[in-house]
Structure 1
Amino acid sequence: MSVSINIDNVVKKYGNDTIINGLSLKIQPGEFFTLLGPSGCGKTTLLRMIIGFNSIEGGEIKIDDKVVNNIPANKRNMGMVFQNYAIFPHMSVADNVAFGLRNRKVAGEAIKKEVDEILKTVKIDHLKDRMPARLSGGQQQRVALARAIVIHPEVLLMDEPLSNLDAKLRVEMRNAIKSIQNKIGITTVYVTHDQEEALAISDRIAVMNGGVIQQIGKPKEIYQRPANIFVSTFIGLSNILDASVKTKDCAVGSKKVVFQNEGYGVRMDNLSDSVQDGQKVKVSVRPEEFEINTNGEGIAATVESSVFLGLSTHYFMELSDGKKAEVIQYSGDAEILPNGTKVSLAVKPSRINVFEYEGERTLIEGVKRS
C-alpha cells in the first residue's frame, strides 16, 4: 500500500546558514513528485532530510502519520537511487540487486525469486550474471533502480538519476522510470534541474529557488500558468515584456494590456480585480504564443536570424525598443522569413501571463501557488 509524505515547516541549517526555513508540502500516496530547481536551491538537501542522511533542525517529516525525524536512515524503509549509481564493481548484476535483501536476512530462495522478478520488471534479466564494467550507463541505472525497489520500500527517492546519461538515453530512461513507477505504484520523490525531464515524468512538480517553494502543481498548470516570473522563466522559454493595464472604457470584467511597443494592446478577461488603471506590469509571452504578421497589428519586430528544426522554425527577433525576443512558428508550408524582414508580433490573450512589475507575482485570476 502506498504512503503519503507530510513535510511540515521543516528547517535545515549548516552552522549559521539556514538552507531551508519553514518549508511545507504534502506528497500523495503513489504520486511521482518532482523537486525542480537550479543548483543550490535546496532540493537535494530536502531529499536527504526525507531519507535521513541530513538532520532536521525544525519541523516534522511524516510517512503517513509516523514522524521519522529521529529514525536512522537504515530504519526508514526507503530506497534511494543516486546520481552516480553507487553500484558495487566487484559484484554481478544479480548480486548487486540482492545486496539489500541479504542485509535484511531474507532467505536464499526468496532472494533469488525477488531478484529475478525485479530484473524482469526493469528489463535486464538477461544481464543478471554480467559485471558492472560491461554495462552501459542505462543498464547501470536500471541495476541501481532494481536494487532500490527490490526491498519493497515505502518511498523511492531519486537524486538527479539521469544527469550522467547522454540525451537520447535520458529520454529512454525517463520513460522507463515512469513506466516502472506506475507499475509498482510506489510513492516517489525525484530531484532534477532539467525542466523538460520534470514536465515529462511528474504527476506534480514543486519548483524551488533559494530554499523556498515557488509553486506546486501539475506540469501543464505550472507551464501554462506560472505563479511568478521565476517559474515562468525557469520552466521553458519566456519573453518578458513591459506593458501597462488600461481599465477605463473597457467592458465589465475586461481589461486591456497595452505593450510598451507602439501602443499595441489586447483585451483580457482573466486579470485580477486588484489591477489599477495605468498600472505597470510585466508580460510573459512564450515563443509559441506569438503570431507573426507581415502586414497586421502587433509589436514591431525585425528578424535577426532563424533556425529550422523540421516541425518548427525558431526566429530570433529585435523589437522596436531594442529588446530581443524568440518566436516559434510551426513550419507547415510557410516560407522561412529572411533576415531583416519587418514583421508584427501579435499575442494570444488567452495564453499570455501578466505579473506585477515589482513583486513579480501573477495577476491572472485563479493561479495557485501550491
Structure 2
Amino acid sequence: MTTEHDHAHDRITTPVTADLLRGAVELERTAHGVLPHRLPSWARAQCADGQLAMAESQPSGVRLAFRTRATAVELDTLPTKRVYVGAPPRPDGVYDLLVDGRLTARGSVTGGRTVTVDLATGSTGHHTGPAGTLRFGGLPEGVKDVEIWLPHNETTELVALRTDAPVEPAPDRGRRVWLHHGSSISHGSDAASPSTTWPALAASLGGVELVNLGFGGSALLDPFTARTLRDLPADLISVKIGINLVNSDLMRLRAFGPAVHGFLDTVREGHPETPLLVVSPILCPMQEDTPGPVAFDLDALGEGKLRFRATGDPAERAAGKLTLNVVRDELARIVAQRSAGDPHLHHLDGRELYGEADHAELPLPDGLHPDAAAHRRIGERFARHAFSGPFATRTA
C-alpha cells in the first residue's frame, strides 16, 4: 500500500481502499474520493427508486478497520445531509471510534452536500458544500486495532485518511460473517450511532463480522437484493421481512407468499446449508391490523414533529391487503413448510424482539422506528436468541 507523507501536518496520508473497509459491498471512485455502496452497481442499475439509492449509499455497518501505532487520526469526508422542510433539524451523522473493540470516542463532520425535502409537496432541492474533517486524538500508545464506523444514516464519501504513524489493514480474526437484510429498523433509524444500531450491537455480542443490508424503506423482496445476498460470502444469514411491504402497500397476499419463496430460493442457490433466519416484523401498533400505505402526518409536521400514520382501511384485508399480522402468519407458515426439507432454515417472530410490553415502556417516537434504548434491547434479544440457537457455533 502506498502512502504519502504530509510534512506540513506531520501526517501520513493513506489511500482509502477496499482492504481498509468492512461492511461495504462495492466502492465507487468519485471526483472526491470513494463512496461505499451496500448494493453492487448491477443491482443499482435495476431500480431507479430514489429512496433505495439514498438508503444503499448510506453506510450502515460500514467501518474503516486498520492496525496502527498512531495516536492521532484524521478523516476527510464529504457527507450528504438531509433537511426536511418544517421538521426539526436532523443532527449531523455520527462516527464511532473503536479501539481494540471498545467504543472510545464519537465525532461528526459538518459541511458537505445538503438535500432539502418538502414532505408536503415531495419536491427536493440540492446544495453543494465542502468536505469536512473528523479528528480523533489521544489514542493509546502502541499497536492497536482501530475501527471508524461511518454514519449509518448519512451518505459519506471518503476523501482522505491521515495518521501520525503508518496503518495496515486490520487482520482477519477468523470471525464468522453475518449477512443481514432488513428495513429502516435494521438500517438503524433513530439509533444513537452506527455501532449501536441493533444489528451492530448484536454482531458485537455474537462476536461476528456484520455486513448490514438493511435499507430504509426498501426491504421489498427485490430480486436483485436476493441475488446480492446469494453472491456475498456469509457464514450466517438473516432476513427481516414485512414492514416495508405493508407500509408501501406494494403487493397483496397472493403475490407475497410466492415472492418470499422466490427470495429464499435465490438466497439458497448460493448458500444451500448456511443457517438462515427469517424474522417477521417487530410490533408497530398502527400497522398491526391496518394496511398501508403509510404517510407523513402533516398535522404533526405543522407542530414541528415528524410522525407517520397508516392510511389504509382494516376492512381491505379481505381483498388481500397486507398488515403486520397477516405478514407474520404467512412467514411462519412458509418457514414451517420449507423447513421440513431445509433443516438450516429458522423463524423468529419479531415481537420476541420488541412486543406489547416493550412498546408500553419504550414507545416508537415517530410511530414507526425504535429509539436508541429500544435498539439496544432488540440487539441484545436478537443476540441471545440467534447465537444460542440457529447461529450457535457447532463443533463437529
Provide the TM-score with structure 2 as the length reference: 0.27
Provide the TM-score with structure 1 as the length reference: 0.28
Between Structure 1 and Structure 2, the one with more strand by share is: 1
